Amino acid sequence: MTKTALITGVTGQDGSYLSELLLSKGYTVHGLVRRSSSFNTERIDHIYQGPQETGRSFVLHHADLSDGVALVNLLREIRPDEVYNLGAQSHVRVSFDAPLYTGDVTGLGALRLLEAVRASGIDTRVYQASSSEMFGATPPPQNEKTPFHPRSPYGVAKVYGYWATVNYREAYGMYAVNGILFNHESPRRGETFVTRKITRAVARIKAGLQSELYLGNLDAVRDWGYAPEYVDAMWRMLQQDEPTDYVVATGVPATVRQFLETAFAHAGLDWQEHVRHDAKYERPSEVDALIGDASKAAELLDWKPEVMVEDLARIMVDADVKQVEDQLAGATVRVDR
Ligand code: NAP
Ligand code: GDD
């Protein structure tokens, strides 16, 4: 039987890869798109099916995680077998500038969706996009038993969403799980996250379009994986007999400086000739080191990452170099298709 899924955050990095994965498995995929004054569907334009098409397997709906009634109505209409809550104000630095908005959408938004599932009376499985940012100041390695100590309004909001998910599982017997995902990147990564900011700058410097790149803290350690592999872990979490929470990570640490070195070197450039410091990109409280232990996901989900940080940097540089070349040639096609 064809399964139906609802994805919030369908226009984001993970939403686009998860849509492709579920469509390839024969799902009918519904995506929640928030209203924007200009197009915000670039990552899913290649799988878009217009309202005039018959028998659509990919359907978009306007709604917002701040609007609980719209969520109930949408769930009643779609009656999905699986719900993936990927929608969020997901930028850590921005969350210090917009803490209440971040709390509302990223934290309370998760609760609104869970309550909407309950209120609509449907039988569905729920995935909550939890984050390694919840571990914050707690030293690595981090796994499912590691205590949380969030260091940003975003991290605090994600802790709220995490416990709301656990609570709905315990209180109402709902199949609701947290995927505690460590940083994952791709050519579709938002342009202001550090990896994409670096690989995009590499491509533009190589093409002579810019000469300097301003960054904040280069000493932070992250565990960077490849987004298409991480959405597969999300799907696996909803196919188990029992709901439980999982860490998803590579276990391989790298500093921002090491990512810089790899990315610039791949394009034949010396990062030290181009990178400048700007305190504007530092956070009032930083997360120094995130390194995940994903042995539970390996054992129970049979999930293992293949692309590690150095290959990831090269994949992203190649994609951005190609994108700049295409732009200079006057084309507008995406680079990662
Ligand atoms: P992303 O690219 O920033 O995508 C976020 C999505 O949320 C976008 O589709 C965005 O819409 C949507 N959104 C924002 N505000 C909304 C609102 N008020 N109502 C409904 N939708 C809203 O993030 P991502 O990297 O794909 O990450 C997916 C999820 O995993 C997020 O919840 C993120 O916090 C979490 N996470 C990510 C990572 C990572 O390393 N990527 C790690 C752990 C957890 P627009 O396109 O219109 O902005
Ligand atoms: N964005 C950004 N811009 N980060 C910088 C910069 C800069 O110019 N310079 C240094 N950094 C450092 C940050 O201080 C942080 O330590 C590290 O680079 C990574 O920053 P981001 O790429 O913005 O990611 P993040 O780790 O803060 O958050 C991402 O990962 C979380 C999972 O751990 C986001 O995707 C979150 O949504 C996600 O939950």
Interval 74-117: pLDDT, tens? 999 999 999 999 999 999 999 999 999 999 999 999 999 999 99
For ligand 2, what atom is nearest to the CA of residue 192? 1
**Does ligand 1 lie within 6 Å of residue 61's CB atom?**
no
Q: Average pLDDT in the 165-173 region?
A: 98
**Does ligand 1 lie within 6 Å of residue 178's CB atom?**
no
Q: Domain ranges in the chain? A: 4-186+224-248
Q: Average pLDDT in the 242-251 region?
A: 98
What is the rounded CA–CA span in Å between residue 154 and residue 168? 21
pLDDT band at 1 (very low <50, low <70, confident <90, very high): confident
pLDDT band at 332 (very low <50, low <70, confident <90, very high): low
Q: Average pLDDT in the 261-274 region?
A: 98
CA of 193 to the centre of ligand 2 (A): 6
String of b and e for 152-175 (b: at least 16 CB within 10 Å)? bbbbbbbbbbbbbbbebbeeeebb
**Does ligand 2 lie within 6 Å of residue 283's CB atom?**
yes
Whole-structure pTM value = 0.97
| 116-147: pLDDT as tens digits | 999 999 999 999 999 999 999 999 999 999 99
* pLDDT higher than threshold 50 for residue 335: no
For ligand 2, what atom is nearest to the CA of residue 196? 22
CA of 49 to the centre of ligand 2 (A): 33
- Range 4-186+224-248 has CATH code 3.90.1280.10: no
Which pLDDT value is given to residue 298? 98
Q: Average pLDDT in the 236-256 region?
A: 98
* pLDDT higher than threshold 50 for residue 157: yes
CA of 64 to the centre of ligand 2 (A): 25
**Does ligand 2 lie within 6 Å of residue 314's CB atom?**
no
Residue with the smallest CA separation from ligand 2 atom 26 is 183
